[in-house]
Amino acid sequence: MYRQIVILTGAGISAESGLRTFRDQDGLWEEHKIEDVATPEGYARDPELVDRFYNTRWSQLHGGDVEPNQGHNALVRLEREFDGELLIVTQNIDDLHERAGSHRLLHMHGELSKGRCPRSRQTFLLKDPFGPEHTCTCCIPAQRLRPHVVWFGEMPIGLDRIQHALDTCDLFIAIGTSGTVYPAAGFVDTANHHGAQTVEVNLVEADRHSQFQYHLQGKASDIVPRLVDQILSGNVIKDNIG
Ligand code: BJW
């Protein structure tokens, strides 16, 4: 039925793995000011504070208690069994899609497990939490690595590839994202414009101004496996699945 699928994931897909979202109750933005920890200006003012913010999240991700959930796993099944084109675009910087086994994946807001040279933009895998001792090997003098994440005011990663996939997809699914951060929040408009079917999976009710044609309300770990069954069985997605 479908030939080209783009899936956008947000913090909600990792929530059931124990990682906090940003804007929900108890979300990360309740304890941190966005302008302090998610802007280049905040990093320039106080890099240690920003390093600590990401180190806490790095330690949780690598602490042994966090694992992919049924939502991530279902997307791996889709990748293995779907005959057409698939691209998973994640706004998440965790590596739970990779740990589950996804390959056709693009981290548009960066990766928690990497540091980046601010001069050459080369990335380096981080085997331990951040600190001033993490420097690049590409420049002389060596540069202090910064978190490989996209902050407000910075250009997201892979936009050309994403744009091409959106222009040609016939199904666009957004999972566990509040749709408040651009350009990701505008992907649904692009997909609609090109005639794709657009589906949203979220724990909460659809927004009154939602641009999605279908809204599936519930936990990602519950809805996504059923959505994948539906796609793989060749059926068109409807409001009511499973
Ligand atoms: C569940 C669930 C469960 C819970 N099951 N669901 C004015 C107007 C328009 C735009 C702008 C503007 N002023 C500035 C801008 C641009 C700005 C922007 O969008 N600002 C808005 C705040 C207005 N954007 C940028 O600056 C971006 N760059 C940019 O625009 O470059 C220029 C450009 C120009 C032209 C074209 C293209 C580009 C960069 C944005 C960078 C965002 N970075 C962050 C931090 C990354 C590192 C980190 O992780 O710390 O990315 S911010 C943060 O928000 C993070 C996330 O990826 C992102 C999105 O959050 P997400 O994933 O949606 O999480 P939540 O918490 O918001 O939502 C969770 C959802 O899950 C909720 O809906 C729950 O209900 C649901 N949920 N449990 C299913 N179990």
Same domain, 13 and 48: no
| 242: in domain | no
| 181: in domain | yes
| 218: in domain | yes
Residue ending a domain, choose from 149, 165, 197? 149
| 238: in domain | no
155 lines ligand 1 (CB under 6 A): yes
* Cα–Cα distance measured from residue 91 to residue 165, given in angstroms and rounded to the nearest whole number: 16
Instruction: Say whether 104 counts as a known binding-site residue.
Output: no
Rounded average pLDDT over 188-217: 96
Place of tokens 């698939």: 86
* CATH code (residue 41): 3.30.1600.10
* CATH code (residue 168): 3.40.50.1220
Measured from the Cα of 53, ligand 1's closest atom is 50
Active site residue 62: no
| 61: in domain | yes
Same domain, 51 and 126: yes
The verdict on whether omega for the bond into residue 183 sits within 30 degrees of 0, i.e. cis, is: yes
Domain count, the chain: 2
Same domain, 91 and 207: yes
Burial 183-209, CB ≥16 within 10 A → b, else e: ebbebbebbbeeebbbbbbbbeeeeee
Is 90 exceeded by the pLDDT of residue 130?
no
Instruction: Say whether 75 counts as a known binding-site residue.
Output: no
Same domain, 128 and 207: no
21 lines ligand 1 (CB under 6 A): yes
Find the catalytic residue in 72, 97, 107, 109.
109
Rounded average pLDDT over 123-128: 92
What residue's CA is closest to ligand 1, atom 44?
151
Residue ending a domain, choose from 149, 173, 208? 149
pLDDT at 128: 87
Contacts of 65 (CB under 8 A, 6+ apart): 18
Residue 241 — very low, low, confident or very high, per pLDDT cuts 50/70/90?
Answer: low
What residue's CA is closest to ligand 1, atom 16?
182
pLDDT in tens, 56-67: 999 999 999 999
Statement: the pTM of the whole predicted model exceeds 0.85: yes
- Which residues form the domain of 57? 27-65+115-149
Same domain, 90 and 207: yes
Residue 238 — very low, low, confident or very high, per pLDDT cuts 50/70/90?
Answer: confident
Rounded average pLDDT over 75-85: 98
Same domain, 200 and 188: yes
What residue's CA is closest to ligand 1, atom 21?
181
| 12: in domain | yes
Instruction: Say whether 17 counts as a known binding-site residue.
Output: yes
Contacts of 156 (CB under 8 A, 6+ apart): 108, 109, 150, 183, 184
| 187: in domain | yes
pLDDT at 142: 96
Residue 240 — very low, low, confident or very high, per pLDDT cuts 50/70/90?
Answer: low
Rounded average pLDDT over 150-160: 98
DSSP reduced 3-state for 85: strand
